[in-house]
Amino acid sequence: MNTLSRRILGAIPVLLGISFLVFMLMHIAPGDPVSLLLGDDATPADIEQTRRELGLDQPLLVQYWDFLSRAVRGDFGRSLKFNEPVMKLVFERLPATIELAFISLIVAIIIAVPLGVYSAIKHNSLFDHAGMSIALIGVSLPNFWLGIMLIYFLGGQLNLLPVAGRIEYGIEVKPITHLYLVDSLITGNFTAFWSALQHLLMPAFTLGTSLAAIVTRISRSSVLEVMRQDFITTARAKGLSEKDVIWRHILRNAMITIVTILGLQLGALLNGSVITETVFSYPGIGELLIQSISARDYKLTQVLILFFAVIYFVVNLLTDFLYSWIDPRIKF
């Protein structure tokens, strides 16, 4: 059995454990989904009948087994809140979260990698101390606070950017990949592209800056560690220019650590967008998760959290593939 097969098989008991834990916690938590669904005017008889129809009157283990047996066949049931198939809701919202996560990642890379590398090269200089102070502030700032401040100043006071949604009302994008930026470029709809980009800037900056703060510190530490190695001294002794030493030797060897943290943080971006999407009313799976938890929508909540777990697994797997591409000495 190859490594890939072992990794996939090893993920199965983890996903089962997560599904069982989430199922039990959701049912133990206070709040009745049927009462929330029917409203305050529902009679006890209506509530009891609805519970029977939804299978919520069965023992918890029976309900869990029913969910699991259906999930194996690809049937994750219908959402209690939205009365639509769960997977349909997930795949409708997923492109928005993917788009937000990748733009946030680009923001983080543009800020963090140059700042971290240059801080390491100028170790103990004024630039280094200033850069690390900024990174420390970025790590300390809560995402939700930064998002609210951006909404207040850039959206409310200066009216520079939209504060909610994914695209301006009335602008339509022909769905191809369901990624608005990509689809609008493919179809040549630059009005839609500009509107979608404007709606992405504040939430992407909110997510990207916190990631940039982490990656800056990791990049600096990784570059400093490589710079102290003997082969860097040898490269300089051979007469290589400082530019060649940095790009061909230091940065390439430091990239393993940087790629590791970026891979882990990409999964965190996809999952951690929950708060940011809620603050900006951005229609992704993070906002959908908050709505499902508030409504005690058991099936939708369980599937979303499982989906987040699968995202982490896939991102880590892709990160391992990148290792062997960056450094051929590493075998997958």
3-state DSSP of 69-95: HHHHCCCCCECCCCCCEHHHHHHHHHH
Q: Indicate whether 104 belongs to any domain.
A: yes
Kindly state whether residues 54 and 133 are assigned to the same domain: no
Q: Which of 18, 49, 75 is the last residue of a domain?
A: 75
In 3D space, the residue among 143, 149, 150 whose CA is nearest the CA of residue 214 turns out to be 143
Q: Indicate whether 274 belongs to any domain.
A: yes
Kindly state whether residues 169 and 299 are assigned to the same domain: yes
Residue 78 β-bridge partners: 85
Kindly state whether residues 280 and 315 are assigned to the same domain: yes
Determine the pLDDT at residue 272.
60
Kindly state whether residues 307 and 167 are assigned to the same domain: yes
Contact 288, 299 (CB under 8 A): no
Kindly state whether residues 119 and 208 are assigned to the same domain: yes
Task: State how far the Cα of 307 lies from the Cα of 128, in Å rounded to an integer.
Answer: 40
Kindly state whether residues 114 and 187 are assigned to the same domain: yes
Q: Indicate whether 1 belongs to any domain.
A: no
**pLDDT digits 0-9 by tens, 49-101:** 877 877 777 888 888 888 888 888 878 888 888 888 888 888 888 888 889 98
What residues make up the domain containing 244?
90-326
Name the DSSP class of 153. Answer: I
Residue whose token pair is 């959290």: 305
**pLDDT digits 0-9 by tens, 293-325:** 888 888 888 888 888 888 878 877 777 777 777
Q: Indicate whether 216 belongs to any domain.
A: yes
Of 29 and 158, the one with more pLDDT = 158
Task: State how far the Cα of 22 lies from the Cα of 298, in Å rounded to an integer.
Answer: 9
Give start and end residues of each alpha helix (H) in the chain.
Answer: 3-28, 33-38, 44-54, 60-72, 86-121, 126-140, 143-150, 180-186, 190-227, 230-237, 242-244, 251-279, 285-294, 298-326
pLDDT at 330 over 70: no
Number of domains, the chain: 2
Task: State how far the Cα of 12 lies from the Cα of 4, in Å rounded to an integer.
Answer: 13
**pLDDT digits 0-9 by tens, 166-189:** 888 888 888 888 889 999 999 888
Residue 85 β-bridge partners: 78
Kindly state whether residues 67 and 205 are assigned to the same domain: no
Determine the pLDDT at residue 53.
76
Kindly state whether residues 49 and 191 are assigned to the same domain: no
Kindly state whether residues 176 and 293 are assigned to the same domain: yes
* DSSP secondary structure letters along 293-322: HHTT-HHHHHHHHHHHHHHHHHHHHHHHHH
Contact 315, 266 (CB under 8 A): yes
Contact 204, 272 (CB under 8 A): no
Kindly state whether residues 44 and 156 are assigned to the same domain: no
* Residue 148 CB contacts under 8 Å (≥ 6 apart), including other chains: 279
Q: Indicate whether 263 belongs to any domain.
A: yes
Kindly state whether residues 209 and 295 are assigned to the same domain: yes
Q: Indicate whether 83 belongs to any domain.
A: no
Q: The CATH number of the domain where 311 resides is what? A: 1.10.3720.10
Q: Which of 207-219 are b and which e, b meaning 16 or more Cβ less than 10 Å from the residue's Cβ? A: bbbbbbbbbbbbb
Q: Indicate whether 7 belongs to any domain.
A: no
pLDDT at 194 over 90: yes
